[in-house]
């Protein structure tokens, strides 16, 4: 945030120099039939101190934002369209995994109902009997 403040001060100083060189008349000096709502000022009208200061603060914040490693404009290019096929495949695979987990739990329950040991069941699913019992032994977990 220091960058934003420093940028505003530097820009305002440069703006004073540029404004003196341009020396553009204020609109009320050239438009004589205008009713003034505020008192006249003696400084220049272009470039605007307000516009330059806001622009400098915005540029300083942008630089600080990028320097801190935050997401930059380049990371979110609205013209870049990504194919969502990989995300759709991920969603399908996740659904299939859930269905497969449910089928596996049902098969384990059937094997236990047929009298097979946890050791035998564990050997069939690539784990120990104790791990199979801990995962599939409580039927309430699979409802």
Q: Within a domain: residue 141?
A: yes
pLDDT for 79-122, tens place per residue? 666 777 888 888 889 889 999 999 999 999 999 999 999 999 99
Q: Write out the residue range of the structural domain in which residue 122 sits.
A: 104-143
Residue ending a domain, among 73, 90, 113, is: 73
Q: How many residues does the chain have?
A: 143
Nearest alpha carbon to residue 14 among 74, 56, 69: 56
Helix (H, G, I), strand (E, B) or coil at 15: helix
pTM of the shown model = 0.39
Q: What is the 3-state secondary structure (H, E, C) of 67-88?
A: HCCCCCHHHHCCCCCCCCHHHH
Over its C-alpha atoms, the chain yields an Rg (Å, rounded) of: 36
- One domain, residues 67 and 6: yes
Assigned domain for 35 exists:
yes
Do 122 and 128 touch, CB atoms closer than 8 A?
yes
């Amino acid at each position: 945030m220091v960058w934003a403040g420093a940028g505003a001060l530097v820009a305002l100083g440069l703006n004073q120099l540029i404004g003196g060189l341009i020396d553009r008349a204020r609109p009320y000096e050239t438009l004589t039939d205008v009713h003034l709502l505020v008192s006249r000022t003696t400084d220049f009208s272009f470039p605007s101190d307000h516009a330059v200061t806001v622009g400098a603060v915005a540029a300083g914040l942008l630089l600080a934002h990028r320097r801190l490693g935050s997401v930059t404009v380049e990371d979110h290019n609205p013209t870049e369209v990504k194919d969502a096929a990989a995300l759709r495949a991920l969603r399908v695979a996740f659904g299939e995994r859930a269905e497969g987990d449910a089928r596996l739990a049902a098969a384990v329950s059937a094997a236990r109902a047929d009298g097979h040991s946890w050791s035998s069941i564990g050997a069939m699913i690539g784990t120990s009997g104790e791990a199979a019992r801990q995962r599939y032994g409580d039927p309430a977990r699979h409802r």
